[in-house]
Amino acid sequence: MVIGDKIKVFSGNANYELSESVAKCLGVELAEAKVSQFPDGETRIDIAESVRGSDCFIIQSTCAPVNHNIMELLVFVDALRRASAWRINVVIPYFGYARQDKKVSPREPITAKLVANMLEQAGISRVITVDLHAGQIQGFFDLPVDHLTALDIIGSYLKKTDLSNSVVVSPDIGRATEGRRLANYLGLDLAILYKRRKSPTETAVSHVIGEVEGKRPIIIDDMISTAGTILRGVEALVELGAKPEVRVGATHPVFIDPALERLAHPAISEVIVTDTIPYRGHLGKVNVLSVAPLLASAIRNVHDNISVSQLFSSPQRG
């Protein structure tokens, strides 16, 4: 067997269900490893099978508890490297600390860069991730980064629904490109919420660019954290005459309290997210789509040395 022909897919504890789905899409079993803690809370990794000469993929979202999941991933990488794995690829569906990608005030860290440095020093060969909050994080690594998007998954779902009299809404200028791509794919117009930030976690909508009166809005974003931006956007849209039938789409359901309470607003009819982060809530209007087929395709292409670019191309109209 040629070196690297063996593929092994491992899972951390952050999102085991997604890892199982990815393995199923690949037609393989998850490789055996016990991920636990010592009595004092230190991370313990026991690789239960040989990985010598293997092409290894570790699936681990660095969602809450963020620091624990990052440390778990680092220890996992170190264990595989010391066990003579041929290549160590980390699949990070949700990349924690992505909002700390630059200094916004004096004496602040750039923690996303620090995380990239730690992963590289641990011994990774490649990163596969989905819808980074800040795309420039790709440049924080001096190794290949495959930046996938779930926009086509959400777009394909929406295209099968009733889109009559709908309009795609970008929650801010920074997400206008993604909003435009989705609008083009769905054959809809685009509106943009112009907001001003009151604090690191709070914004206010000042005005809306585009026509929303009498329309059914579809707000699209990369993540929903506290849902404060979403709620203020929904209220602004309804005040401007949009129908109180707002659908919200986002890749990452971070859902920090009181997010679910805010998303229960009667003007929000549906919340469409993916399983990059496990959803443990009970809000009936939340619809979870899976990124497992997308991640499995990326893993397969990387392992077979096939281009991955077609997988992270955002949907185009047609």
* Amino acid letter, residue 109: P
Please give the CATH topology (third level) of the domain spanning 7-149+292-312: Rossmann fold (3.40.50)
The tens digit of pLDDT for each residue in 82-95 reads 999 999 999 999 99
Q: Residues 163, 188: contact at Cβ < 8 Å? A: yes
How confident is the model at residue 313, as a pLDDT?
A: 55
Confidence of residue 312 (pLDDT cuts 50, 70, 90): low
Q: What is the pLDDT of residues 214-263, one digit of tens each?
A: 999 999 999 999 999 899 999 999 999 999 999 999 999 999 999 999 99
Domain with residues 151-289, CATH architecture: 3-Layer(aba) Sandwich (3.40)
Residue 199 pLDDT level (bands cut at 50, 70, 90): low
Which is more confident, 144 or 2? 144
What are the phi and psi torsion angles at 185 (to 5°)? Answer: -60, -40
The C-alpha atoms of residue 250 and residue 222 are separated, in whole angstroms, by 5
Q: Partners of 58 in the beta sheet? A: 10, 90
The average pLDDT across 304-309 equals 92
Question: pLDDT tens digits for 147-194?
Answer: 999 999 999 999 999 999 999 999 988 889 999 999 999 999 999 998
Q: Which long-range contacts (CB under 8 A, 24 or more apart) does 285-288 make?
A: 286/253, 286/260, 287/157, 288/253
Q: What mean pLDDT is predicted for residues 25-42? A: 96
CB distance 128 to 89 below 8 Å: yes
Q: For this structure, is 8 an active site residue?
A: no
Catalytic pick among 195, 198, 243, 285: 195
Token pair 């590289």 is found at 120
DSSP single-letter state for residue 251: E
How far apart CA 246 and CA 269 sit, in angstroms, is 6
| Distance in angstroms between the alpha carbons of the first and the last residue of the chain | 43
Q: Where in the chain is the domain with CATH 3.40.50.2020?
A: 7-149+292-312, 151-289
Which whole number is the average pLDDT over 92-102? 96
